[in-house]
Amino acid sequence: MEELSQSLIKTLQNKIKDVISEKRYIHSLGVQYTAASLAMIYDVDILRAEIAGILHDSAKALSDKEILKECKKLDLSVSEVEKQAPSNLLHAKVGAVYAKRKYDIDDEEIISAIRWHTTGKPEMSTLEKIIFVADYIEPGRKMITGLTEVRKVAFTDIDKAVYLELHNTITYLEEKNSNTFKSMDEHTLEAYKYYKNIVENK
C-alpha cells in the first residue's frame, strides 16, 4: 500500500512537471511536503494532503485569456471579480476540474481543497485549511510581512493561521488597491469574517 501511494505521488509529480514552470513545480513540491507535515499534526490522511498539494496549481500556467476560454469550455461560471484577475482566481476552479478529469482523482475532499486554495471560504474542512495554509507558508515562499508568524502558528492552531493569512492578504490588497472590496473575491471576505470570529471566541 505504501509503495503504491509513493508511486502515485511520483506519477503525479512527473505529470505536473510537464505542465507548469520549474519555479512553480518547486513551489508545488513545497506545498506537497508542507501539507504532509500539517496532515501529520491534524490527523488528516497524509497521502490525500500530498496529492492536493502537488496538484493545486496544475492550471496556473494558463494565461488570463486561456483560462477564460477554458472556463467557457468547461462550463464554469466566472464572476465580475474573477474577470478582473482571471488566472489568479480561476486557476483554482479549473485546477479542481483538472484534478478530476486529467489526473483521475475522485476524492471530493481533495478536489474541494484545490478549489478553495486561493480564496479560502468559511467552514473549510481540515484538508482545505491545510492546503490553503501550506500554499502560503511553504519554504520557497518569498518573505513577506507576517509570514514568519503564520508559519509558527500553522503547526499549533490552523484556524488562527487561516485567519492571519486572510488578514495579511486583505491588508496587502488594500495597500495595492483602494477599491479592495470591489476587487476582492467575496469568499475571501466571508472567510476572513468567519475565521476572525472563531479566533476571537476561542
Give the residues lining the site for Fe ion (CB under 5 A). 57, 135
Instruction: Please name the amino acid found at residue 163.
Output: Y
Q: Kindly state the smallest distance separating residue 134's Cβ from Fe ion, in Å.
A: 9
Question: Which CB, 121 or 198, lies closer to Fe ion?
Answer: 121
**Four-residue CA torsion sign, 144, 27, 109, 85:** positive
Cα angle 13-42-52, degrees, rounded to a multiple of 5:
25
Question: Which CB, 84 or 199, lies closer to Fe ion?
Answer: 84
Buried/exposed code over 118-147 (b: 16+ C-beta within 10 A; e: otherwise): bbbbeebebbbbbbbbbbbbbeebeeeebb
Q: Kindly state the smallest distance separating residue 16's Cβ from Fe ion, in Å.
A: 12
Cell of 32: 506537497
Question: Which CB, 82 or 135, lies closer to Fe ion?
Answer: 135
Question: Which CB, 57 or 82, lies closer to Fe ion?
Answer: 57
Q: Kindly state the smallest distance separating residue 21's Cβ from Fe ion, in Å.
A: 12
Q: Kindly state the smallest distance separating residue 103's Cβ from Fe ion, in Å.
A: 16
